[in-house]
Amino acid sequence: MHWAQSFRKYLTPITESALAGVIGLAIGAVIMLGYGYDPGAAYVSLFKGSFGSIFSWAESLANATPLILTALTFAIAMRGGLFNIGAEGQLYIGALAAVSVSLIHLPYPLHLIVALLAAMVGGMLWSLPVAILKLTRGVHEVISTIMFNWIAHFFAFYMIANVLTDPMRGEKTISIAETSRFARMLPGSSLNYGIVVAVIAALLVLFLLWRTTAGFELRVAGHNPESAHYAGISRRKQVLRAFLIGGVLAGLAGAVQVMGRPPTYALVTGMSQVVDLGFDGIAVAMIGRNHPIGIIFAAIFFGGLMVGGRIMQFSPGVPLELVRVIEGVIILALAVPELKRIFHFVRSKFVWRRASNGS
Amino acid sequence: MEVEHLWGIFFISLHAMVPITLAAIGETIEESAGLFNIGLEGMLLISALTGALGAEYTGSAVGGLLVGLSTGAVLGLVFGVINTYWKGDQLITGVGINLFALGFVAFMLVNLGAPGFHTVPRDVQIKLIPLGVGALSPLVLVTVAMAFVVYWLLHRTQLGIRIKAVGENPAAADVAGISVNAVRLGTAIAAGALVGLAGAYLSVDWFGAVTKEVSAGRGFIALATVVFSGLNPLLALVGGFIFGFFDGFATWVATYPKIKEIIPWQFVAMAPYIVTLLVVAGVIGRVRFPKALGTPYFRE
């Protein structure tokens, strides 16, 4: 009975997310119709491109890898009642730190570990001032994280153009050293062992949140700040915890992206391979209901949309950007608790009809 | 430094002030009623696009501004309905609007044939008012007037009292016969219209073009300006000018030959964001926000 009970507990959020996904795809279809595209052909090519073969599965998983980490950044803060939208900037810093480690020479496993550590520390340090500004000056994290994102954006541009530049090719940074790269899991695909890092991180966050005192305190502080206060849970500690762990995870996201993704293993001018991963992570966290396991599935869904979106761009010619439109609609749908009521209403009608048919 | 340089910086600052202050005044109206909208950035972006298209379609710059304004009002309506009658989560709705805008504008730019960039023809851009020392956009005057009008509206009229009552104590306002949701929805639409005007100004007036990043964080700088102003539209004018100064200053320095070689442009470009952080960190202690800010109203 225990299993059935816990399954029922998870059923509602899963159906809600699925419903929001359907609404997103439906509005995406309406927009496509409005611009003279064929939504049927577009979605067929999108899902064939994302989950149609072993190779497309591998690409979808590769795209899911950084999203799992940036989504965890947002989710851990959300569990603590904080709205951290700073993964974007922290991930740039993590990627820069990982690339910088390739300036020195070290043997294989050590080099990779040092690069990961540097990225984690980089992301954490970029997140620290957000926590300090909130605790000492009461600056809302929505404002401070966005400002730090933009500062990181220009800082990264500077580093790519002036400090870490590849002496042979000016449009990119030096490539990550061979000794500091994640090996590919499927030859010819982008899927690499970075995904193991992401999944381990998700499991660690799961353990932290539901099996440790620290995680319990964080969740209480997020769920009911007043009770947390009377229970003697320090708000200062929770804010620091949520932002610092979040920074570590976002830094890792930047690192796995440059250390694992062929072919360049470097940051290019404009940072096309890392830009917006932080914001997509917010969407992934919301669809995954800020739960690490939910996030893994939501990230694979989104990774698939990104890969399939590229295919869709070729065959029916629908611009890839439509995927982000769908993402926005899904989030708007999830923001509405009323949706739950509408869903229950529809379900009760359906169940009622089935019951009356049976009699 | 010559005098015309000072005038140059002053005019750039005024022009950079417009979108930030207009959006901040809009946000001030809805925050007074208890709505916290972090979707300003996305609303600026979408209305910059529709404003540009509107100007081309109607063949007039004013037409473009009106299309941008209406777009903002519609987005305000969506935000308002979700967060009043549907009891939604305001922060999440704002993120949704921002993500939607990011995708939608990029999608539309691809459809227009020029990925990432669309120029507004010069003859449908707003004509600047020539003054002896430089040219001024009429929107600067509109912004200043708007600040005074909204100040008067919020602090000197019956409607303003109702808006603030809904933001401070919705339950008491409800008992006094004010429809909390209707007032909030109204402020969301009005705020959206102002943000939409600000967005259209970016494309139809200031830059004369739309890009994927035309808003460049100005929606969030506007949020910071609201914090700085403590919900006072007149101070939003001052805040907008300060942020506008650094925004314009960055553009100016980036093109000024002697300075360009000493300081890399990337560091100059960071200035508006660093200043925003410092200013917000400096003033925040004394600012008091409406009690019911950010929470939906449930009748008990």
Q: Which residue of A has its CA nearest to B94?
A: A332
- Interchain contact A142–B (C-beta under 8 A): yes
Mean pLDDT of B256-264: 75
Distance from CA of A137 to the nearest CA of B (A): 6
Averaged pLDDT of chain B: 89
Give the pLDDT of residue A359. 38
Residues B206-222 have a mean pLDDT of: 89
Residue A358 has pLDDT above 50, yes or no: no
Angle ∠(B261,B267,B273) on CA atoms, nearest 5: 150
Stretch 223-252 of chain A: residues touching chain B, C-beta under 8 Å? none
Which of B208, B4, B10 is closest to B123 using CA atoms?
Answer: B208
Distance CA A358, CA B158 (A): 60
Q: To which residue do tokens 């995927």 refer?
A: A323
Could you give the CA distance from residue A151 to residue B250 in angstroms, rounded to a whole number? Answer: 13
Residue B257 has pLDDT above 80, yes or no: no
Residue pairs between chains A and B whose CB atoms are closer than 8 Å:
141
DSSP secondary structure of B216-282: TTHHHHHHHHHHHHTT-HHHHHHHHHHHHHHHHHHHHHHH-HHHHHHS-HHHHHHHHHHHHHHHHHH
pLDDT digits (tens, 9 = 90+) for B193-213: 999 999 999 999 998 888 888
pTM over 0.90: no
Calculate mean pLDDT across residues A336-342: 70
* pLDDT reported for residue A229: 86
Percent of chain A at pLDDT above 70?
92
Q: What is the CATH number of domain A61-303?
A: 1.10.3470
Q: CB contact, 8 Å: A133 with chain B? A: yes
Distances in Å between the alpha carbon of A320 and those of A329, B130, B160? 16, 43, 45
Mutate to test the interface with B, among A321, A326, A338, A343 (most CBs of B within 10 A): A321
Q: What is the CATH number of domain B3-286?
A: 1.10.3470
Instruction: Provide the H-helix boundaries in chain A.
Output: 2-34, 39-51, 54-79, 87-101, 108-137, 141-158, 194-211, 213-223, 225-230, 235-260, 277-287, 292-314, 322-335, 338-358
CB within 8 Å: B269 and A154? yes
How far apart, in Å, are the Cα atoms of A82 and each of A130, A214, A235, B153, B294?
11, 16, 11, 34, 14
- Residue-wise pLDDT for B63-86, tens only, equals 999 999 999 999 999 999 999 988
Q: Judge contact between A130 and A89, C-beta under 8 A.
A: no
Q: Is the pLDDT of residue B180 over 90?
A: yes
C-alpha dist (Å) from residue B40 to A85, A102, A151, A160, A170: 15, 40, 20, 30, 36
Looking at chain A, which residue has its C-alpha nearest residue B42? A328
| CB B190, CB B76: distance < 8 Å | yes
Q: What is the pLDDT of residues A180-221, one digit of tens each?
A: 999 999 988 899 999 999 999 999 999 999 999 999 999 998
Interface of B to A at Cβ within 8 Å reads: 38, 42, 78, 82, 86-89, 91-93, 95-104, 106-107, 110-111, 216-217, 220, 223-224, 227, 264, 266-267, 269-270, 273-274, 276-277, 280-282, 284-285
Tell whether the model's pLDDT for residue A170 goes beyond 90: no
ipTM score assigned to the predicted complex: 0.87
User: Smallest CA–CA separation between A326 and chain B, in Å?
Assistant: 7
Whether residues A338 and B88 touch (CB distance < 8 A) is answered with: yes
- For the segment A309-328, what is each residue's pLDDT rounded down to a tens digit? 888 888 788 888 888 898 88
Residue B49 scores a pLDDT above 90: yes
Of A142, A146, A158, the CB nearest to B266: A158
pLDDT over 80 (residue A342): no
Least confident of A8-22, A254-268, B67-81: A8-22
Predicted pLDDT at B51: 96
